[in-house]
Amino acid sequence: MQVAIMGFGTVGSGVAELILKNKNSITSRSGQKSFDIKYILDIRDFSSHQLANLFTKDFNDILNDKDVDVVVETMGGLEPAFEYVSKSLEAGKSVVTSNKELVAAKGYELLELAKKNNVNFLFEASVGGGIPIIRPINQCLAANETDEVAGILNGTTNFILTKMIDEGMDFDEALKLAQANGYAERDPSADILGHDAARKICILASLCFQKHVYPNEVQTEGITNITKEDVDYAKAWGGVIKLIGRAKKLESGKISATVGPCLIKNGCQLASVTDVFNAILVRGDAVGDVVFYGKGAGKFPTASAVVADVIDCAKHLEKRKLLGWGPAENDYVITPDEQSSSLYIRAAVADYNKTLNEINATFDGAQILNYEGASQTEISFITPLMNEKDAREKIAKLNLETKNILRVLDY
Amino acid sequence: MQVAIMGFGTVGSGVAELILKNKNSITSRSGQKSFDIKYILDIRDFSSHQLANLFTKDFNDILNDKDVDVVVETMGGLEPAFEYVSKSLEAGKSVVTSNKELVAAKGYELLELAKKNNVNFLFEASVGGGIPIIRPINQCLAANETDEVAGILNGTTNFILTKMIDEGMDFDEALKLAQANGYAERDPSADILGHDAARKICILASLCFQKHVYPNEVQTEGITNITKEDVDYAKAWGGVIKLIGRAKKLESGKISATVGPCLIKNGCQLASVTDVFNAILVRGDAVGDVVFYGKGAGKFPTASAVVADVIDCAKHLEKRKLLGWGPAENDYVITPDEQSSSLYIRAAVADYNKTLNEINATFDGAQILNYEGASQTEISFITPLMNEKDAREKIAKLNLETKNILRVLDY
């Protein structure tokens, strides 16, 4: 079997190295007689690379070569990835991608195209890097109806929050350290504003609930607004702040889809996920909660997922795998207003005791948070579990100078 | 497609209920036009059950019915399960089982029999209940060479240890509570002596390292010897005691396979697994550490895994799935003596300070443990990481009245 790799960046080069390193076991597990890389597409010059003879700058070399059974797309971005992947599928080649932007924006179209051409379009590496998650949801949990899927889906922001929690750094300091370590880009906005996590929750929600969810349907909030005070109040409550992507089936049959910093209790599986690690929780009606944990990014973890998909394509060269979802539906993804939530609020106060009394009069069972050294010019509390819209209206009526409102999760 | 269920106990009845409950989505995900239970085999009387017309007491009804494509074995035990499963495979029927005793003892034979008859033999539910683990190792991590697989594989003992850690119960008290809650059998020996976990680590090791590992090759120790003192010393060290099943590739190419109580540090993913939950860690050369967490037992979690396998059989009625391992090999599974370990020791002492000096003279870098209220008639310490055989010889020479020697893990 012959493979072409498009894009020789971190992931693409990891895919090539991994195939060469574990070639014997990979070939045997694929059920094929051979398992070879025939082309590597990259516009940059790799003429002195040890694999130099495999490189091409012309996508048509891959497209027109009948020997190429599987195309790996690790270029990233929407174009030309979308064009190349579409053409490859139309030419009867299976495609494996690690490109979450592509799957979140074009997943339904590409899955339909794969179906039409009787080939596979697999994307295990697009969520959670090396963590097995797409295939387990699709196959291992196939007997379940999913109630909820949620997780720590972005390693960069989890690293930043970990440094804020464990070492008392402020956001800017932790971001700089993430950049110095190569975890954050020079322009870190896709990570810290939550867009990367939003793409991933789209893919998970589409798979779990079987209708395509687009990034613009996800209520997305990043972590730039989180301060040391929030971290300390969360500690006083007995938990941590994590950036959580979450999609949840509501009683109406619709779903809510959000990305935002949330408070979660210490002791739950997501709370102990630190540094650049990711974890994804799936709540099924039969299985209950299952959690998948591991490295959500990086050269070899991501390559591990890509190559596993290539092996799966090799096993299914004649018969398609059943993997996919239906088109998006209007008004299917709704704002989380109608879900039950408990909210964390931090606000500036002029008169602490007066505000305290107003909060207690407004919310029966509000939990006031405090820690040693907390400023008396701020107040922080947690509402009881209630309709989120009602809670937000009540908070608005309190006329607080609100610094942060975060959801509190009950995992 | 027609399914037969053998054994209508907790798991078997869960399988039937789950198939009926989620019938539409299960049928659609199986790619079949229909998905029906044709027989339920049980020697007990279910004549007033709502599914009464499906029951039979005669295995030959199933064996001789050409319409039965997939047989589910949820009887447990070696016989007659082994006979019925063998005959089903020979008759060209795929088999799905939740029976860890069967897979640990007869896995290689049954996988060969399935291969010979071009059918599938699947056993996702045999390890970790509803947690996806067999398929992720076999497919999602297929690009990796596994270095190690380890986990909390038995919910009953994890419940007991959790009560000892969180509520200060002693072993007998916690065991009684586990029995009262239905988590432990009246004869709890298979759980508390580690035999159940040993069967599961056999299945995981066989799959990860590709040679059948039998339970009698696993160095197995239960938790009956663990006392509140051990729990408190572990806390003082900054960790917890968990019953860990573990198989590890050694430099020699052989593997060590053990089940026993171990110390692990708080903050690692396995340490926060409490109550009846299970978690399995797989260390791959490309992916690093991945952890799978969820309910390791119970009616619907286990049924979730069984039905997922049945759906997978339905998808692969014509083409076999590649899943299996080779025969056992002599002297392949060795005692853990030659691995590097750090050990925890608790011993009775006549003269605390004298023994302390001897320990420090024997182990360069020994960590002495202490907690408020610890008895001065005991001493507890942790050796540096070293060849385990050497460490045990040195401990023997100290002439201590040893109460417990446990491994310390570095996850």
- Start-end of CATH 3.30.70.120 domains in chain B: 339-408
Q: For the residues of A251-279, what is the DSSP string, one character each? A: TTS-EEEEEEEEEEETTSTTTT--TTEEE
Residues in chain B within 8 Å Cβ distance of A315: 322
Beta carbons of A136 and B140 less than 8 Å apart: yes
- Start-end of CATH 3.30.360.10 domains in chain B: 135-295
**Per-residue pLDDT reduced to its tens digit, A210-223:** 999 999 999 999 99
As a whole number, the mean pLDDT across chain B is 96
Name the minimum distance, in Å, from the CA of A37 to any CA of chain B.
15
Nearest CA in chain A to B293: A291
What is the structure's pLDDT at A338?
A: 80
Token readout for B315 is 């998808």
Long-range contacts of B358-366 (CB under 8 A, 24+ apart): B358/B398, B359/B398, B362/B394, B362/B397, B362/B398, B363/B391, B363/B394
How far apart are alpha carbons B205 and B210 in whole angstroms?
8
Q: Are B235 and B371 in contact (CB under 8 A)?
A: yes
Q: Which CATH architecture has domain B135-295?
A: 2-Layer Sandwich (3.30)
As a whole number, the mean pLDDT across chain A is 96
**Per-residue pLDDT reduced to its tens digit, B34-68:** 999 999 999 999 999 999 999 999 999 999 999 99
Say which of B132, B274, B288 has its CB closest to residue A290: B132
Say which of A18, A141, A145 has its CB closest to residue B132: A141
Say whether residue A155 is in contact with chain B using an 8 A CB cutoff: no
Nearest CA in chain B to A130: B287
Of B200, B248, B249, B295, which residue is the catalytic one? B200
Residue for token pair 């390559």: A303
Beta carbons of B301 and A288 less than 8 Å apart: yes
Q: Is B200 a catalytic residue?
A: yes
* pLDDT beyond 90 at A267: no
Q: Are A206 and A213 in contact (CB under 8 A)?
A: yes
Name the minimum distance, in Å, from the CA of A350 to any CA of chain B.
39
Confidence of residue B410 (pLDDT cuts 50, 70, 90): confident
Say which of B293, B303, B306 has its CB closest to residue A290: B293
Say whether residue A145 is in contact with chain B using an 8 A CB cutoff: yes
To probe the interface with A, which of B272, B287, B289 has the most A CB atoms within 10 Å? B287
To probe the interface with B, which of A287, A306, A309 has the most B CB atoms within 10 Å? A287
**Span A283-290, average pLDDT:** 97
Confidence of residue A57 (pLDDT cuts 50, 70, 90): very high
Segment holding A90, helix H or strand E: helix A81-90
What is the structure's pLDDT at A395?
A: 96
Confidence of residue B123 (pLDDT cuts 50, 70, 90): very high
Say which of A29, A143, A307 has its CB closest to residue B304: A143
- Start-end of CATH 3.40.50.720 domains in chain A: 2-130+299-315
Confidence of residue A339 (pLDDT cuts 50, 70, 90): confident
Q: For the residues of B129-181, what is the DSSP string, one character each? A: TTS--HHIIIIITTTSPEEEEEEE--HHHHHHHHHHHHH---HHHHHHHHHHT
Beta carbons of B308 and A29 less than 8 Å apart: no
Q: Are A39 and A67 in contact (CB under 8 A)?
A: no
Say which of B272, B290, B303 has its CB closest to residue A286: B303
What is the structure's pLDDT at B267?
A: 85
Q: Are B303 and B118 in contact (CB under 8 A)?
A: no
How far apart are alpha carbons B161 and B182 in whole angstroms?
16
Q: A2-130+299-315 has which CATH code?
A: 3.40.50.720
At B408 the three-state DSSP class reads strand
Residue A69 CB neighbours (<10 A) = 20
Confidence of residue B29 (pLDDT cuts 50, 70, 90): very high
Beta carbons of A300 and B293 less than 8 Å apart: no
* ipTM for the predicted complex: 0.94
Q: A135-294 has which CATH code?
A: 3.30.360.10
What is the structure's pLDDT at B335?
A: 82
How far apart are alpha carbons A149 and A205 in whole angstroms?
7
Beta carbons of B269 and A274 less than 8 Å apart: no
**Per-residue pLDDT reduced to its tens digit, B175-199:** 999 999 999 989 999 999 999 999 9
What is the structure's pLDDT at A314?
A: 95
Helices (H), B193-241: 195-209, 228-237
Say whether residue B145 is in contact with chain A using an 8 A CB cutoff: yes
* pLDDT beyond 90 at A318: no
Phi, psi for residue A193 in degrees, rounded to 5:
-90, 0
Beta carbons of B287 and A274 less than 8 Å apart: no
Say whether residue B288 is in contact with chain A using an 8 A CB cutoff: yes
**Per-residue pLDDT reduced to its tens digit, B351-365:** 999 999 999 999 999
Of A93, A100, A163, A200, which residue is the catalytic one? A200
Name the minimum distance, in Å, from the CA of A264 to any CA of chain B.
14
What is the structure's pLDDT at B134?
A: 97
Say whether residue B305 is in contact with chain A using an 8 A CB cutoff: yes
What is the structure's pLDDT at A402?
A: 96
Say whether residue B31 is in contact with chain A using an 8 A CB cutoff: yes
CA-derived radius of gyration, chain A: 23
Confidence of residue B321 (pLDDT cuts 50, 70, 90): confident
What is the structure's pLDDT at B338?
A: 80
* pLDDT beyond 90 at A235: yes
Strand ranges in A296-377 using DSSP code E only, listed in sequence order: 333-334, 340-348, 367-369
Confidence of residue B318 (pLDDT cuts 50, 70, 90): confident
Confidence of residue B337 (pLDDT cuts 50, 70, 90): confident
What is the structure's pLDDT at A407?
A: 97
Q: For the residues of A336-349, what is the DSSP string, one character each? A: GGGSEEEEEEEEE-
Q: What percent of chain A clears pLDDT 70, i.e. is strictly above it?
A: 100
Residues in chain A within 8 Å Cβ distance of B269: 269, 272-273, 293
Residue B121 CB neighbours (<10 A) = 28
Q: Which CATH architecture has domain B339-408?
A: 2-Layer Sandwich (3.30)
Residue B305 CB neighbours (<10 A) = 33
Strand A255-265 and strand A367-369: pairing? unpaired
Beta carbons of B18 and A319 less than 8 Å apart: no
What is the structure's pLDDT at A336?
A: 81
To probe the interface with A, which of B24, B139, B264 has the most A CB atoms within 10 Å? B139
Residues in chain A within 8 Å Cβ distance of B140: 124, 132, 135-136, 305, 308
What is the structure's pLDDT at A295?
A: 93
Say whether residue B151 is in contact with chain A using an 8 A CB cutoff: no
**Per-residue pLDDT reduced to its tens digit, A166-189:** 999 999 999 999 999 999 989 999
Residues 6+ apart with CB under 8 A from B227: B170, B171, B403, B404
How far apart are alpha carbons A19 and A62 in whole angstroms?
18
Mean pLDDT lowest among A72-81, A330-339, A357-366, B382-391: A330-339
> Closest by alpha carbon to A65, among A52, A78, A79, A54?
A54
- Start-end of CATH 3.30.360.10 domains in chain A: 135-294
Phi, psi for residue A5 in degrees, rounded to 5:
-110, 125
